[in-house]
């Protein structure tokens, strides 16, 4: 029986490292034609140097993919970043920067790809959100906010484009061991009002990430969702995080907030 991924044209943003690289490699191993859109070129995949926050650059990249391959079967919106720090002391420019990449980057690529998928009669969009969208993390509020926005966008878009044969799903990773941890931008503003709470919170995050699951776990979830006939609205990556999110949905919100506060604040 032929592999469902074979010969599919798959566009992955941010496929030069971490989850994006693992997903792109998995698609490639299964016979897909993989194109990486990222700010730096990848020697492993067909790559187009693209800043996903630049709408015109994204449109040119998508046009190039279509010229070369004739279609786009799967889009994986993976590119993203993290920042940490207190909401009170986070510079507006830093907040806008993370929204530009994590949310508007997803929007830019999605809007460029949708006309292609409509014209060809279908396709699948997989947006990489986060468990932090469901469990808002203190001192990582802007990351949680961007991923909540991605999850909401995915759920609404799913119904908008269903009549065109386009499927939309979100994958929500828990803690994953990647270079995302080292790349997180930290707000170094020294405010005695918060004492050492920010540093302790970030230390907990980094410990959990460094001891987290392999990016291959999330890559498998992405590939599986992209090939499903009827993918779920969202899929949590990692059995431990599936349990946590389910508990968060049934426990009183006040209790969930208290637990998160004890863990991270």
Known catalytic residues?
Answer: 143
Task: Kindly state the tokens that stand for 78.
Answer: 């993976």
CA gap 109, 58 in Å, rounded? 6
The distance of Cα 106 from the centroid of its chain, to the nearest Å, equals: 9
Give the number of other Cβ atoms within 10 Å of residue 93's Cβ: 7
Structural contact between residues 209 and 137, judged by C-beta atoms closer than 8 angstroms = no
Tokens of 139: 């001192």
Q: What's phi and psi for 10, nearest 5 deg?
A: -120, 125
Q: Alpha carbon 135 to chain centroid distance?
A: 15
Helix ranges (H only) for the chain are 18-29, 55-69, 92-99, 105-120, 141-161, 180-183, 197-210, 215-227, 239-250, 253-264
Place of tokens 């940490």: 84
Task: Tell me, rounded to whole angstroms, the distance of Cα 100 from its chain centroid.
Answer: 13
Q: How open is the CA angle 112-116-119, to the nearest 5 degrees?
A: 145
CA 137 – CA 257 distance, rounded (Å): 9
Q: What angle do CA 168, 252, 218 make, to 5 degrees?
A: 35
């Amino acid at each position: 029986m032929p592999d469902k991924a074979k010969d599919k044209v798959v566009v992955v943003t941010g496929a030069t490292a971490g989850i994006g690289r693992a997903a792109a490699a998995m698609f490639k191993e299964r016979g897909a034609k993989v194109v990486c859109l990222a700010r730096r070129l990848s020697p492993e995949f067909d790559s187009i140097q693209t800043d996903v926050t630049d709408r015109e650059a994204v449109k040119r990249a998508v046009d190039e993919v279509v010229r070369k391959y004739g279609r786009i079967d799967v889009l994986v919106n993976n590119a993203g970043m993290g920042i940490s720090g207190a909401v009170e002391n986070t510079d507006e420019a830093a907040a806008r920067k993370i929204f530009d990449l994590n949310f508007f980057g997803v929007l830019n690529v999605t809007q460029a790809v949708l006309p292609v998928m409509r014209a060809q009669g279908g396709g699948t969009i997989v947006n990489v959100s986060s468990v932090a969208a469901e469990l808002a993390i203190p001192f990582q509020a802007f990351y949680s906010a961007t991923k909540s926005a991605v999850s909401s966008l995915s759920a609404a878009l799913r119904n908008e484009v269903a009549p065109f044969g386009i499927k939309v799903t979100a994958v929500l990773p828990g803690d994953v061991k990647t270079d995302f941890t080292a790349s997180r931008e930290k707000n170094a503003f020294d405010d005695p009002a918060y004492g050492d709470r920010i540093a302790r919170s970030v230390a907990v995050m980094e410990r959990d990430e460094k001891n987290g699951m392999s990016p291959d776990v999330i890559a498998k979830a992405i590939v599986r969702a992209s090939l499903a006939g009827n993918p779920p609205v969202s899929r949590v990556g990692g059995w431990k995080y599936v349990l946590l999110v389910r508990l968060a949905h049934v426990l009183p919100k006040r209790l969930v907030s208290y637990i998160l506060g004890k863990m991270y604040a």
